[in-house]
Structure 1
Amino acid sequence: MTAQRQDRCVWRPEIAVIALLAVFCVLCNGIAGAAETTQRIVTDRFTGLAIEGFDPVAYFVNRHPVLGLSEFEASKEGVVWRFHNEGNRASFLAHPEIYGPRFGGYDPVDIARGITVAGNPRFWLVTGERLYLFGFEANRAAFASDPKSFLTKAQARWPSLERDLAQ
């Protein structure tokens, strides 16, 4: 290597420090962002849609998740809900407390543990005439084996957890 090239390849600690700080900030923001839950109803922060745009009434009517359509939207509690048809939209608007996911779409197993974890609309269960969403398939299986126990604990912890969520 020539002396000229050696001068260009000088170790520059200030650049390394800046790069390490940048990586650290990105990682910290990613971890903090994933753990944050500050909404009373689980909402996609990019689209503003509740339960990822799935039709909450379809879980009861069709017995499986169905994506809602943009033609059949409704805004309730500052959240946009999508529905598969006008009938489902009308049913939800008449009775959102029945068709909306219990605990705002947060996983009832984790609520029973004292934490809020967003439920996934693909891991769901209708029991006791209410829709529950789960963050993990294992949580759904655990809940299905003993829903009464989990609901008793979740109902006791939900008021304080809900108060901590942003309005």
Structure 2
Amino acid sequence: MRTKLMYAATLLMALIVTSCGLIPTQVSSPIEAVNVDETTLAIKGYDPVAYFTKNTPTKGNSQFAANYDGATYWFSSAKHQKMFTSEPRKYAPQYGGYCAYGVSKGYKYDIDPQAFAVVDGKLYLNLNKKVQNIWSNDKQALIVDANGYWTNIEKTPSSEL
């Protein structure tokens, strides 16, 4: 009897805590369209503008932040923050920051900010450096494939692909 009572009390407490919003139950993002963590941080905190200006992955800082498409981006400087906010579509990663190779196959995979390429003025991220190398060997064709898939999978949860 005591075990059942403890179980019921625990269950009730869990229900109360989640209903009050003390435990996040869903990331607030445009329905799976952007690859973010539970705090809505994109690109694992890396500065999207630095891929263009420095051609290198650069950690951002939370004091230089901007929101775009439901995601929070961090920047390494106020200058990069301003560049992004004036032209977010120019600097935001393609496919909502999901792995470009994965999208070319109809899937959404997480990324490693170190596995990147800027192609024709657009930022592409990949799962890891091994996948990046595979993607790089045929990137133009894979970009065409990914563009075709993205419109169909953009708003689909990755768990359903």
TM-score by length of 1: 0.72
Cα deviation, residue 125, structure 1: 1.1
Q: Size of the alignment, in residue pairs? A: 128
**Structure 1 residue aligned with 2:4:** none
Distance of 2:63 and 2:126 partners within structure 1: 27
Cα deviation, residue 131, structure 1: 0.8
For 1:120, the aligned partner's letter is: D
For 2:83, the aligned partner's letter is: S
Equivalent of 2:57 in 43, 47, 65: 65
Distance of 2:125 and 2:152 partners within structure 1: 20
Cα deviation, residue 78, structure 1: 2.2
Mind listing any 5+ residue stretches in structure 2 that lack a counterpart? Answer: 1-30
Distance of 2:143 and 2:137 partners within structure 1: 12
Give identity over the alignment, percent. Answer: 28
1:31-55: per-residue Cα shift (whole Å, max 9, x none)? xxxxxxx62111112x331111110
- Within the alignment, does 1:43 sit opposite 2:21 as a pair? no
**Structure 2 residue aligned with 1:75:** 67
- Within the alignment, does 1:146 sit opposite 2:156 as a pair? no
Mind listing any 5+ residue stretches in structure 1 that lack a counterpart? Answer: 1-37
For 1:110, the aligned partner's letter is: G
Distance of 1:79 and 1:112 partners within structure 2: 22
SS of 1:72's equivalent in the other structure is strand
For 2:52, the aligned partner's letter is: F
TM-score by length of 2: 0.74
1:8-59: per-residue Cα shift (whole Å, max 9, x none)? xxxxxxxxxxxxxxxxxxxxxxxxxxxxxx62111112x3311111100001
- Within the alignment, does 1:137 sit opposite 2:129 as a pair? yes
Distance of 1:109 and 1:40 partners within structure 2: 16
Distance of 1:85 and 1:44 partners within structure 2: 22
**Structure 2 residue aligned with 1:28:** none
- Within the alignment, does 1:108 sit opposite 2:68 as a pair? no
Aligned-pair Cα RMSD in Å: 1.6
SS of 2:72's equivalent in the other structure is strand
Greater Rg over alpha carbons, structure = 1
